[in-house]
Structure 1
Amino acid sequence: MMDISKMQYRPCVGIMLVNAAGKAFVGKRIDNREGDWWQMPQGGVDDGEDLREAVLRELWEETGVKDDNVQILAQTREEVFYDLPEELMGKLWGGKYRGQRQHWFLARFIGTDEDIDLKAHKSPEFCEFRWIDPELLPDLIVPFKKRIYRTVLDEFRPLI
């Protein structure tokens, strides 16, 4: 039996990438066959890695977008946390973490859709992408991350 109270949160960054029209990037996860879930790019922070470096690395790994095609506009004032649902607890990330602690960044995409390459990394996360009205973000993400998306959207809305 796992003692969840002793498990840590995985350090992570998330990116709300918006285009010139104010639409947010979402990708459909390759590994989620149980639903039509879409998410913004996010991923772990390596030991000693600067948060902005982690954002740009994750964005490149998941979307193929190079750092010269983005302008970072803002960062959430505080970390946001979420717990994994019970059925995933102990299964992801080697069973080491109970969820994630995330710093989110808002970035303006200044490239074109041709600058997006979901297969740029050897293990793609997304099988397709689209640009959506940011208000739809909480409706498209897996249920256990909805609160996070609402928090991020509320904080970044005035800047989009």
Structure 2
Amino acid sequence: MSERNYRPCAGVMLANRQGRVFAAQRIDSKDIGAWQMPQGGIDPGEEIQAAALRELAEETGVTADLVDIIAAMPHPVRYDLPEELHGKLWGGKYRGQEQHWFLARFKGEDADIDINAHDPPEFCEWKWVDPEDLPGLIVSFKRDVYRAVVREFRELI
């Protein structure tokens, strides 16, 4: 397993004016209550911030004009997939993800959020949560990543 690389990924911690952050429940993991922030793979040749904004728009309907990028993590963070998911995700090509995170201030209104913007949608429900609550909502193998993102951006939210 160690010879496999990490999938390059970009994500956005979307914060509203009240200091809460966007979290959405994944459709494919509804039975276990897997929530996450908008994130996804970086296409070959795509700039990291552009990938983050593309994923944000695809997964939430929130376009780049509705956000201000406040900060970027100075380094990517990684997670490894649990043993039971090896070979099931991304064609078995990756051992986990290397994620680049951005903090964005949401300038729009809740009505601007459309989790059905992409076909098929990735999420079935969304909500604003306190940043400290994020790690408890995420699947266990991503918790350390979410703790690091919250630590990095908390003072700026």
TM-score range, shorter chain: over 0.9
Q: 1:83 aligns with which of 72, 80, 84?
A: 80
Match status 1:117 vs 2:105: no
Q: Distance in 1 between matches of 2:144 and 2:117?
A: 30
Distance between the aligned counterparts of 2:30 and 2:79, measured in 1?
A: 22
Match of 1:51 among 48, 70, 81: 48
CA offset digits 1:104-145 (Å, max 9, x no partner): 000000000110111111110101100011110011000000
**TM-score where L is the length of structure 1:** 0.96
- Counterparts of 1:116 and 1:156 in 2: how far apart (Å)? 22
**Identity rate of aligned residues, in percent?**
61
Looking at secondary structure, tell me which structure has more helix per residue.
2
Deviations 1:67-121 (A, max 9, x none): 1100011110111010000000111001100000010000000000110111111
Partner residue, 2:89: 92
1:101: which partner in 2?
98
Gaps of 5+ in 2: none
Matched, 1:129 2:126: yes
2: CA distance, partners of 1:34 / 1:91: 18
The alpha carbon displacement at 1:52 in A equals: 1.1
Runs of 4+ residues deviating >3 angstroms? none
SS at match of 1:47: coil
Work out whether 1:143 is the aligned partner of 2:144. no
**Secondary structure in structure 1 of the residue aligned to 2:78:** strand
Aligned equivalents of 2:30, 2:13: Cα separation in 1: 23
SS in 2 for 1:131: strand
Task: Tell me the equivalent position of 1:73.
Answer: 70
The count of corresponding residues between Structure 1 and Structure 2 is: 157
SS of residue paired to 1:33: helix
- Cα distance in 1 for partners of 2:134, 2:80 equals 19
Superposed CA RMSD in Å reads 0.7
Q: Secondary structure at the match of 1:34?
A: helix
Query: What is the distance in 2 between the residues matched to 1:113 and 1:12?
Result: 26
